[in-house]
């Protein structure tokens, strides 16, 4: 992969799962009425899982997703599955001695860290110290990492750190350690007495480290697109930026520069995270990274009224009047757990000086359960078999699948299963009876599948609408983390595709495992009349399996005494009995204030009061409100764009709207139009609940509408890119005339031949299970599958790289280029669109989307993206980009006018053709060669050696035969183009010279895409394409050999008999 671009992509990948996050991306989750199972069967231990692959359970799991409350755990727990080799369940045995536990994750634990400076190089992390403050149901964590660049060169680093479920970073800073440490000695930790006095607010964090840091830079909250542009441009100038940005559900990328040779660097990150609710208890877990030389963890617990606190490993705390303080130095355990037992109801309250007071609480309204009327008797299960399910989630999905089927035999009479990653495959060609034979059969089949590839939720839902059944409608049980790393990424668009289809309600389950997109799951279930249920451990499976049968109550209104602007995480419309809600609002409710809910069960309204309990003064209340408010406002973007910016920046909530960015100087911020903005007045006057309510009606027609989304995106491009745009006057009107269907890009279902474990090499299976993917080995596996199976199989192999590195724009572009060369242009388009969303200032992506759409025959949208590419006044570093795009666009317009491609705006194409012809200045050519590559900060040169031995390259751009080469692009991506009007007989050798790679990276892969067009502009036009990965130790790479023979007859006729002006 590439240097600069590679750095753009694999950066500090923060996988923070949105779970019970006060930031409330997530929705609320069902919590069943207390019902204590006393056996393996009653605890939901279904035979769906092979004992050999059974997951373990552990206290050390990250908190459940934001806004999602776990199902109430039983007072007793069933004996853990210790089935024999034949898969028989263990004898039933009461297990009252052990508290309920959460799912154990064998891979991808929180706080696993790596600082990469190349594809295969990383820097040692010498130490980590954590200061943790627990207030009520929330925790604030400040991490100090010391990293040493022990190499001879300065590097840009990609800090990859996985955070717990529901985490929301609020602080990011970087600088050199002021104290030199000889050799490999471990930097000294803050002593425990000092830690107790240290603060966790941004100003306090810096002041407390003043003596240890030099050249400190703190990140500012900045609109996302401007942050990425400023970072990229600043690194190119070799000065000191850093960037922390959202790249998926609870996933953040962090890049730091410069990492000075032979120096220690201190990276400090602050984040908030919810605790996990297990029965009547609250639990906080801190996973310890195994690749850090030394660790110290300080945890301060505000002891709730009537609660006791247990620590694992056992530790004796220091205690003052309000808190217990625990210190763990280099603990041998892999996880530290703090269990707050049976805390009385409590809420956090805090005051933000500029905007006022805020409160937040988790509440469980006491609503009597009542069984709903009998639902649909046909069920379709969508089971995620992507790499993110390997292995922990898949075991959970199988247990849930078996339990839902077994415990609902009276209502679910027939079922089918759609397994999906980037492909979709039905278990059976038709729905089958819900009996023991079929339940065992689907389990056996599921356990043969290889768990790999990216996650295409949108395609799975579209395929679900075409399930092979005569049933007029059926419910869908979505067993997935909901994180769409492939294909369509907008959940509203997914819902829109389900209208007027057999798909009824969607039910989903929040496991609390890292990587869950609680926002997406909440939205999909809410908008289809389903529900999201929380299942944080095996003891909750049985209750969750029948939770969808309870009758929900419609939420009419909610008020809090002395409070206002009341919001619920996930914006639920209905509440299920036993459901735990995260509620936030403005004001400082008095002790024992209550939340008053008005609910409608269909027979009139009823009022339910929920006491909030004891107040706990904490700054966490401010961000808890800010996270929920920002998530709800961002959900309605782009209608709410201005308010999303105000809320995300004021409350320091990185996500879809804003990123944390640090630059070298104030002048650098001003250069990119980034100036400090005070949104306090906006926040005080524009209550989030009112913003959401007003925006819902405005956004109703456009939400999920791809045409409306494109038009808003196009209108915002000048602001997002800092680039001026000059489209032709008739272009906007042409866009308005296109039908909605023109803006929808559907990929045909992939025909995969190798999806079971037996078809894959053991080494690849092991690599997938460990989540330690090697780029070269996965690429080689893709080549093997392409040769032995199909291009679709090859793309599925490569997609695992995308699944493991969501938000990595270099990798997305890399795999997109390969997809294009495989002939899978729709998959390529969606990858390129993700790149364009996060990097709208890089014009080559619009060219790539135009190319993909042209190959798909979607001329309308191809015209749109080519026009975007031509309209911008792009940075001069992109060379003759405009001319090269014009050559391809000219070809598209000719095909539209000739009728070989259909377009709803053929009149616009006819009008534009003469104008583009003037840009191209060629109507036909015997040979056109174009190259582009996937990495920034790299210099790849196109060389074409003609039959006479003369080479056309950057130092000799015009040949005697008439060959012409465009301007040399030395700073990444390309494109470069060679054009020969009249070719002589003989062989033409096309080569790429890998002249220079990103000087800020130790190593990265650069992949070159070369397109050769012969007889361009004529009826005989033909195109060849190839993708070549450039080797580090080889500067010249052969790309193509073109053989031309002199023709005795007339040349092929132009597609259009038109003179070029």
Predicted confidence (pLDDT) at residue 246 exceeds the cutoff of 70 = no
Paired with 931 in beta bridges are 976, 1010
Return the pLDDT at 139: 97
Q: Note whether residue 113 is domain-resident.
A: yes
Q: Is residue 627 part of a domain?
A: no
Beta-bridge mates of residue 861:
none
Encode burial over 1001-1027: b for 16+ CB neighbours within 10 A, e otherwise.
bbbbbbbbbbbbbbbbbbeebeeebeb
Q: Which residue has the higher pLDDT, 777 or 291?
A: 777
- Note whether 320 and 387 are same-domain residues: no
Residue 900 in domain: no
Quote the pLDDT of residue 375: 67
Burial class (CB in 10 A: 0-12, 13-18, 19+), 85: exposed
Residues 131 and 264 in one domain: yes
Q: In 3D, which of 253, 249, 246, 286 has the Cα closest to residue 110?
A: 286
Note whether 336 and 451 are same-domain residues.
no
Q: For residues 330 and 677, which has the higher predicted lDDT (pLDDT)? A: 330
Q: Tell me: pLDDT of 669 over 80.
A: no
End-to-end Cα spacing for the chain = 42
Residue 550 — very low, low, confident or very high, per pLDDT cuts 50/70/90?
confident
Q: How do residues 865-922 score in pLDDT, each as one tens digit?
A: 999 999 999 887 787 888 999 999 999 999 999 999 999 999 999 999 999 998 888 8
CATH number reported for the structural domain that contains residue 334 in this entry: 2.60.40.1730
What is the residue range of 1028's domain? 922-1061
Q: Collapse the DSSP code of 563 into the 3-class scheme (helix H, G, I; strand E, B; otherwise coil) and give the result.
A: strand
Least confident among 268-277, 958-967, 1039-1048:
1039-1048
Residue 559: how many other CB atoms lie within 10 Å:
13
The token pair at 433 is 């009876």
Please say whether the dihedral angle defined by the alpha carbons of residues 421, 427, 432 and 436, taken in this order, is positive or negative.
negative
Q: Which residues pair with 58 in a beta bridge?
A: 102
What mean pLDDT comes out for the span 643-656? Answer: 90
pLDDT at 701: 72
Q: Tell me: pLDDT of 986 over 50.
A: yes
At 968, the pLDDT band (50, 70, 90 cuts) reads confident
Higher per-residue confidence, 1054 vs 839: 839
Among 292, 322, 343, give the residue marking a domain's end. 343
Residues 312, 383, single domain; the answer is no
Question: What's the per-residue H, E or C state across 618-641?
Answer: CCHHHHHHHHHHHHHHHHCCCCCH
- Please tell me the least confidently modeled range out of 148-152, 202-206, 545-549, 691-695: 148-152
End residue of a domain, out of 471, 504, 535: 535
d(CA 793, CA 33) in angstroms, rounded, equals: 46
* Residue 5 backbone dihedrals phi, psi, to 5 degrees: -70, -35
Mean local confidence (pLDDT), 452-478:
96
Across the range 114-137, mean pLDDT stands at: 87
Look at residue 712 and tell me if it is in a domain: no
Q: Could you tell me if 396 and 330 lie in one domain?
A: no
Judge if 425 and 510 occupy the same domain: yes
How would residue 588 be classed by pLDDT, with cut points 50, 70 and 90?
A: very high
* pLDDT for 96: 44
Tokens of 994: 């890998």
DSSP string across 877-933: GGTTHHHHHHHHHHHHHHHHHHTSS--TTHHHHHHHHHHHHHHH--S-EEEEEEEEE
For residues 805 and 417, give the distance between their C-alpha atoms in angstroms, rounded to a whole number: 28
Given a cut of 50, whether residue 560 has pLDDT beyond it is: yes
Q: Which residue has the higher pLDDT, 95 or 258?
A: 258
Instruction: Enter the tokens of residue 169.
Output: 């970073």
C-beta of residue 528 within 8 angstroms of C-beta of residue 492: no
Residue 385 falls inside a structural domain = yes
Which of the pair, 103 or 278, is modelled with greater confidence?
A: 278
| Domain shared by 492 and 421, yes or no | yes
As for how many domains the chain has, the answer is 3
Q: Is the pLDDT of residue 480 over 90?
A: yes
Q: How large is the average pLDDT for residues 173-196?
A: 77
Q: For residues 293 and 414, state if they share a domain.
A: no
H/E element, 445: helix 436-446
Is residue 960 a contact partner of residue 917, using CB atoms and an 8 Å limit?
no
Assess if residue 667 is contained within a domain: no
Q: Token digits for 118?
A: 């190349």
**For 386-441, how does the pLDDT look when each residue is reduced to its tens digit (9 = 90+)?**
999 998 899 999 999 999 999 999 999 999 999 999 999 999 999 999 999 999 99
Cβ atoms < 10 Å from Cβ of 90: 16
Sequence-ordered alpha helix ranges (H) in 117-255: 192-197, 202-208, 224-236
Asked whether residue 176 falls in the same domain as residue 283, the answer is yes
Same domain membership, residue 249 and residue 132: yes
Instruction: Tell me the C-alpha distance between 142 and 272, whole Å.
Output: 9
User: Which is more confident, 516 or 360?
Assistant: 360
Task: Indicate whether 419 and 518 sit together in one domain.
Answer: yes
pLDDT averaged over every residue in the chain: 83
pLDDT of amino acid 85: 35
**Confidence band (pLDDT; 50, 70, 90) for 457?**
very high
> Which residues have C-beta within 8 Å of that of residue 746, sequence separation ≥ 6?
462, 826
Please report the pLDDT score of residue 148 as a whole number: 87
Q: What is the pLDDT of residue 1?
A: 46
- Percent of the chain residues topping a pLDDT of 70: 83
Q: pLDDT at position 223, please?
A: 76
What was the pLDDT predicted at 697? 78
Same domain, 177 and 277: yes
pLDDT of residue 905: 98
pLDDT higher than 50, residue 39:
no
The CATH number covering residue 500 comes to 3.40.50.410
The pLDDT value given to residue 55: 33
Residue 180 pLDDT more than 80? no
The mean pLDDT value for 204-230 works out to 81
Has residue 255 been placed in a domain?
yes
pLDDT in tens, 482-524: 999 999 999 999 999 999 999 999 999 988 777 788 889 999 9
Residue 618 or residue 21, greater confidence = 618
Mean pLDDT (whole number) for 25-35 = 37
Higher pLDDT, 645 or 115: 645
Q: pLDDT tens-digit profile of 261-273?
A: 888 889 899 999 9
Residue 899 neighbours by CB under 8 Å, 6+ apart: none
Output the pLDDT for position 442.
98
Last residue of a domain, one of 494, 513, 535: 535
pTM for the whole structure: 0.80
């Amino acid at each position: 992969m590439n240097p600069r671009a590679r750095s753009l992509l694999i950066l500090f990948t923060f996988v923070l799962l949105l779970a019970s996050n006060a930031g409330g991306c997530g929705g609320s989750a069902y919590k069943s009425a207390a019902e204590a199972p006393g056996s393996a069967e009653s605890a939901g231990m279904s035979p769906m899982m092979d004992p050999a692959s059974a997951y373990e359970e552990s206290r050390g799991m990250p908190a459940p997703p934001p806004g999602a409350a776990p199902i109430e755990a039983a007072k007793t727990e069933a004996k853990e599955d210790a089935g024999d080799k034949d898969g028989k369940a263990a004898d039933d045995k009461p297990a009252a001695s052990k508290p309920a536990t959460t799912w154990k994750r064998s891979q991808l634990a929180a706080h696993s860290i790596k600082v990469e400076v190349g594809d295969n190089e990383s820097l040692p992390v010498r130490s980590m110290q954590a200061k943790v403050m627990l207030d009520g149901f929330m925790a604030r964590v400040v991490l100090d990492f010391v990293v040493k660049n022990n190499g001879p060169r300065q590097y840009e680093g990609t800090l990859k750190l996985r955070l717990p479920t529901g985490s929301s970073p609020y602080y990011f800073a970087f600088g050199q350690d002021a104290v030199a440490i000889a050799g490999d000695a471990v930097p000294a930790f803050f002593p425990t007495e000092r830690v107790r006095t240290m603060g966790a607010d941004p100003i306090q964090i810096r002041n407390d480290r003043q003596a240890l840091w030099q050249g400190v830079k703190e990140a500012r909250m900045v609109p996302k697109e401007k942050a990425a542009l400023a970072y990229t441009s600043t690194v190119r100038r070799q000065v000191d930026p850093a960037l922390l940005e959202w790249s998926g559900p609870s996933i953040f990328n962090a890049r730091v520069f410069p990492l000075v040779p032979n120096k220690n660097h201190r990276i400090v990150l602050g984040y908030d995270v919810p605790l996990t609710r297990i029965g009547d208890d609250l639990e906080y877990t801190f996973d310890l990274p195994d690749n850090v030389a030394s660790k110290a963890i300080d945890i301060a617990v505000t002891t709730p009224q009537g609660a006791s606190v247990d620590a694992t490993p056992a530790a004796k705390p220091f205690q003052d009047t309000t808190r217990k303080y625990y210190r763990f130095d280099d603990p041998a355990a892999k996880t530290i757990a703090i269990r707050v037992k049976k805390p009385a109801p409590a809420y956090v309250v805090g005051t933000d000086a500029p905007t006022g007071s805020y409160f937040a609480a988790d509440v469980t309204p006491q609503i009597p359960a009542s069984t709903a009327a009998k639902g649909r008797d046909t069920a379709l299960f969508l089971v995620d078999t992507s790499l993110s399910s390997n292995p922990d989630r898949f075991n959970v999905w199988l247990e849930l699948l078996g339990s839902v089927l077994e415990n609902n035999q009276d209502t679910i009479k027939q079922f089918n299963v759609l397994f999906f990653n980037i492909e979709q495959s039905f278990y059976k060609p038709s729905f089958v009876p819900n009996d023991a034979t079929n339940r065992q059969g689907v389990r056996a089949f599921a356990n043969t599948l290889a768990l790999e590839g990216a996650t295409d939720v949108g395609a799975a839902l579209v395929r679900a609408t075409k399930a092979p059944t005569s049933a007029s409608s059926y419910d869908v049980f979505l067993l997935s983390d909901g994180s769409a790393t492939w294909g369509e990424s907008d959940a509203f668009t997914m819902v829109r595709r389900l209208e007027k289809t057999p798909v009824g309600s969607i039910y989903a389950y929040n496991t609390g495992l890292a990587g869950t997109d609680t926002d997406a799951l909440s939205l999909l279930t809410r908008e289809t009349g389903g529900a999201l249920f929380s299942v944080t451990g095996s003891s909750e499976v049985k209750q969750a399996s029948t939770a969808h049968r309870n009758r929900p109550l419609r939420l009419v209104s909610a008020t809090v005494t002395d409070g206002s602007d009341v919001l619920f995480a996930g914006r639920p419309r209905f509440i299920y009995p036993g459901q735990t809600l995260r509620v936030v609002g403005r004001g400082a409710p008095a002790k024992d204030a209550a939340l008053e809910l008005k609910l409608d069960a269909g027979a009139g309204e009823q009022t339910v009061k929920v006491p909030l309990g004891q107040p706990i003064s904490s700054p966490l209340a401010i961000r808890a409100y800010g996270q929920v408010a920002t998530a709800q406002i961002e959900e309605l973007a782009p209608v709410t764009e201005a308010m999303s910016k105000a809320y995300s920046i004021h409350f320091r909530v990185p996500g879809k709207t804003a990123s944390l960015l640090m630059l070298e100087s104030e002048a650098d911020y001003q250069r990119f139009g980034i100036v400090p903005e005070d949104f306090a007045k906006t926040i005080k006057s524009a209550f989030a609940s009112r913003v959401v309510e007003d925006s819902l009606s405005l956004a109703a027609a456009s939400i999920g509408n791809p045409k409306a989304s494109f038009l808003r995106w196009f209108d915002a491009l000048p602001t997002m890119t800092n680039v001026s745009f000059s489209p032709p006057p008739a272009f906007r009107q042409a866009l308005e005339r296109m039908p909605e269907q023109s803006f929808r890009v559907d990929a045909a279902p992939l025909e995969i031949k190798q999806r079971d474990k037996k078809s894959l090499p053991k080494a690849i299976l092991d690599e997938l299970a460990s989540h330690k993917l090697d780029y070269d080995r996965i690429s080689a596996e893709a080549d093997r599958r392409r040769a032995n199976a199909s291009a679709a199989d090859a793309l599925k192999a490569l997609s695992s790289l995308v699944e493991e590195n969501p938000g990595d724009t270099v990798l997305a572009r890399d795999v997109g280029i390969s997809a294009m060369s495989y002939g899978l242009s729709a998959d390529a388009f969606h990858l390129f669109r993700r790149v364009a969303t996060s990097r709208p200032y890089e014009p080559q992506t619009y060219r790539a989307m135009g190319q993909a759409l042209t190959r798909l025959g979607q001329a309308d949208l191809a015209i749109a993206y080519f026009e975007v590419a031509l309209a911008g006044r792009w940075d001069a570093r992109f060379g003759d980009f405009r001319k090269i795009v014009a050559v391809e666009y000219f070809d598209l317009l000719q095909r539209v006018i000739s009728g070989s491609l259909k377009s709803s705006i053929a009149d616009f194409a006819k009008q534009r053709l003469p104008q583009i012809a003037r840009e191209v200045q060629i109507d036909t050519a015997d040979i056109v060669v174009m190259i582009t590559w996937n990495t920034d900060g790299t210099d790849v040169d196109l060389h074409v050696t003609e039959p006479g031995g003369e080479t056309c390259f950057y130092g000799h751009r015009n040949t005697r035969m008439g060959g012409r080469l465009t301007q040399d692009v030395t700073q990444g991506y390309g494109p470069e183009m060679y054009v020969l009007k009249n070719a002589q007989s003989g062989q033409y050798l096309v080569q790429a010279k890998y002249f220079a790679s990103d000087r800020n990276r130790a190593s990265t892969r650069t992949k070159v895409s070369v397109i050769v067009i012969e007889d361009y502009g004529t009826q005989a036009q033909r195109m060849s394409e190839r993708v070549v990965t450039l080797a580090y130790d080889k500067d010249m790479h052969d790309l193509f050999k073109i053989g031309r023979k002199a023709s005795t007859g007339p040349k092929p006729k132009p597609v259009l008999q038109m003179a070029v002006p």
